Each structure stands twice: as structure tokens, then as C-alpha cells.
Structure 1
């Protein structure tokens, strides 16, 4: 598998989000296969960047190929990958992984043993990988991150994003069809 460069992220976020399904994400060697992502764009009313640059979302306006890490509801860290071209302000939220590396460490960090519960959801994923606000703005092609391109064809599904109250119908949630590690089932699929 080939490491993903920062140039991979210098394009529209929807394409990046779709292409990340099946890639491997490791943080200090802990992680797994990306099975679910969501897109947030600067013209999207559900995006943190919609109203412009703030201290909280400044990383979204930085160069593509960097992390945007924020705290959700003051409880959970969420990991995003900054994407796009000018104007900036777009990112891909990493919603779920299929754990493959460092499972014992993830179990200890999360306090659960069931593999399905380790990284199914952005808060769980960040806790399992040890992601905190200290990684906000960090380049994705430098340690502790390692992102490896997928090595086989995957069947990607899409649908509406979840956990938001605006622009809820936009089909910017992508997932690996048939994965048991998604944060939630996609509507209309069994």
C-alpha cells in the first residue's frame, strides 16, 4: 500500500471522502480501514466553515492535507481531513474504521472489547486512536499519521449525513457497502 500525499487532499472534498473508503488510517500505528466518511464544504450550512473563519475552525482554512480536530458538544474529539482548493474551508469527517492494528490499545482506551464498538462513530474513533486537539492543524503525511491508499476495489454507498440539523438531505455520507463497522446503517439498505 502506498502512503497518501497532501496532494491527494487538494481537490473537492466529496471526491476525497469517497476515495478514502477502503484506505487505511493509522495514528502512531493504531487504526484500521476507513469505512465511513462525511463531507463538509464552505458553502454548506452544516459546516463549521460556513460563517467564515474563527479560532475554532482556523485549520479548515489552512492548506489541504492537514487535520482539523474539534471537540463536539464539549465531550468528544472529532478528526477531519482538510480538503479542497481556493476558497478553502472544506473537510472530510472520519466517521468509522474497521479496527485492524493495535486493537488491544483501542480496547483499553475505549473500555470496551467488542471490535464493532471501538471506532463506530467519530467520537469513539478519536478516543480509540488517541486523537486530541493537540493534532489540530497537523500535516496528514507526517507522524503520528499514516494514511495508506486502498489496494483493492471497494463498493462505496452514499446517503444523507447524520447528527446534523441543517442540509440534512445532502448525500455526503459515504460508506463501505456491507461493512459491520459503520456508525449507523444507511437508509434503504439492509
Structure 2
């Protein structure tokens, strides 16, 4: 296993997402270390990124104050707030100036179980099952840690983050993204990747109107 570098993350999110599986996000927040093995991830492309417009991306309409981190250099973490409650963590991909990110949807806590349990109020294998829980146990919070550099590990607002990668996995599953509305959450966008059979992977559910949009397409 090795520290990720910017060159490895400079591909489009659709290319990078499966590469992150089996890797680790290691964080130290307020002195408490937690290591998460990544078991599920989703790719998101911004406006003008790749050949197919991605209607499910925060950056689909261009650069805004909210999604600015997605347009920066690869290896930083885009930490956004979901439903006004959950801080979710994305690895920024693609060259600087091209928007893209990989949402870390689920993981296994392999170090720092006590800190993870304290942050979540839960125990067991589902500590980081789903992007809200993943972000919660990592300790990274929006907006304080949005843009933190997971390549250099530089401190930001009392936190450090490092992304580590292992050898690419040979057995990777893919399918529609979870809970994404409309056509962006259908089989037209099989941009979710996960480790088959891993118990920490999210349970699939259709987003609003996605099942109907899939039937039409």
C-alpha cells in the first residue's frame, strides 16, 4: 500500500472510482486517528467533463461556491453537506480546472474503532455504511475541512487526511448510483463501484423518479 499521488488521481472520476476500492482514507481529527478501508464509491463528472453530461453531479451547471473544490487539483477532498445534516467525503479527480469527484459511499473501520463508535453512537460493521456514516466516523466536517489535501496530508482546521492505495482489485462490481434522482440514478449511469460480497456496502435503493426514468430509457 502506498500514498496516493496526484498523477494517479488525475484521470476522470469514472476511471478513478474503481481504483479507490480496497484503498484507505486515514484521518486524524482532534488527535483521534481513524482508518477506513474503502468498499464502495460513486463517480461524478462536472460540466464539460467526459463525453456524457452527468445530470447527477453538483457541478453539472458549472462552478459555484459550493462545488469549487471539485474544480481544483486532484487529491483534495470535497466535503459537502447532505440534507443539511451529513458531511459527505469525495476524492477530487481529473486535472486541475476540470470538475470531478468520487463519493466515498462506504467503508470498513480498520483502525480507531473507539473514536468511530464515539462519533457515530453505533458499533458493528455498519459504522461507515453509507456516505453520511462514512463522513461521520472519518471526523471530517463541512465546511471546516472542505478542500483538505489527502495527498500531502497537510493540516486543515485541526484535521489531517491521507489517501492510501493498494493494488487494483480484480473483482469489482458496478451498477446504478444509490438514491440519485431521475436518469442519473439509472442503469444509464452505472457509475457506482463496490467490492462484491462486502458486508459494509450500501443496500441499493432507487432515487426519486429513477426507476421510472430507467424504464423509459
- Could you state the TM-score of these two structures normalised by the residue count of structure 2? 0.81
Which runs of 5 or more residues in structure 2 are unaligned? Answer: 47-52, 154-159, 207-217
Within 2, Cα distance between the matches of 1:152 and 1:172?
17
State the partner residue of 1:74.
84
Deviation (angstroms), 1:86: 6.6
Which runs of 5 or more residues in structure 1 are unaligned? Answer: none
The structure with more radius of gyration: 2
Pick from 13, 28, 34 the counterpart of residue 30 of structure 1.
34
State the partner residue of 2:176.
160
Deviation (angstroms), 1:67: 0.8
State the partner residue of 1:123.
132
Aligned length: 186
Within 2, Cα distance between the matches of 1:152 and 1:129?
23
Within 1, Cα distance between the matches of 2:112 and 2:59?
33
In 2 relative to 1, CA 107–121 (structure 1 residues): closer, same or farther, beyond 3 Å?
same
Q: Is the 8 A contact 1:40 1:47 kept in 2?
A: yes
User: After TM superposition, which residue ranges in structure 1, 4 or more long, deviate above 2 angstroms?
Assistant: 151-154
State the partner residue of 1:3.
3
- Could you state the TM-score of these two structures normalised by the residue count of structure 1? 0.92
20-29 vs 172-181, greater mean Cα deviation? 20-29
Deviations 1:45-104 (A, max 9, x none): 110000111111111111111111110010100100111137611100000011101011
Deviation (angstroms), 1:151: 4.3
State the partner residue of 1:39.
43
* Greater relative CO (CA pairs within 8 A, separation 6+): 1
Q: How big is the alpha-carbon RMSD for the aligned residues of Structure 1 and Structure 2?
A: 1.8
In 2 relative to 1, CA 168–153 (structure 1 residues): closer, same or farther, beyond 3 Å?
closer
145-154 vs 64-73, greater mean Cα deviation? 145-154
Within 1, Cα distance between the matches of 2:161 and 2:176?
28
State the partner residue of 1:91.
101
